[in-house]
Amino acid sequence: MPSRRSALRAAGAAAAGAFAGCSRLRSRGARIDVTVFNQTDAPYTVEVAFYGDDGATEAAARAFSSSFDVGPDGEATAEGVVDAGRYLVRYRAYEENSTLTDEGHVHFVPSGDETEALPFDIQETGELTQR
């Protein structure tokens, strides 16, 4: 018959393993996907950068930056680019990968349902709008 100490250790290890699995699943689901939909007949490059709101310098606050090459009537997606949270997201859109057609920013606030996404549309005017 196992001692009380052995039984407590086994129960503690099982509980720790169960909690570790839950946190691992939660952290994977709580990330932000970015998708750019091109509604035009021209190829575009869209640069996107996420900045945290911790008051640090711009370089230190940058959580993610990348560019998306999107063909005519196409789409591009990057999954799980940053942990879900509040961000300032800056963007620039370039028609034919060279002519700047729009630049600006949006504020991302998570919905809290673990299906975080930031979709953008490139309009015929070359402007980028949040879906």
Could you please state the CATH topology (level 3) that the domain comprising 31-130 is classified under.
Immunoglobulin-like (2.60.40)
pLDDT at 60: 63
pLDDT per residue rounded down to tens, the chain (131 residues):
555 444 444 444 444 444 444 433 334 458 999 999 999 999 999 999 999 876 556 666 888 999 999 999 999 999 999 999 899 999 999 999 899 999 999 999 998 887 899 999 999 999 999 99
pTM flag (> 0.75): no
The Cα–Cα gap between 127 and 14 comes to: 53
Distance (Å, whole) CA 48 – CA 55:
20
Tokens of 128: 């980028």
Would you state the pLDDT for residue 26? Answer: 39
87 burial level (CB within 10 Å; 0-12, 13-18, 19+): buried
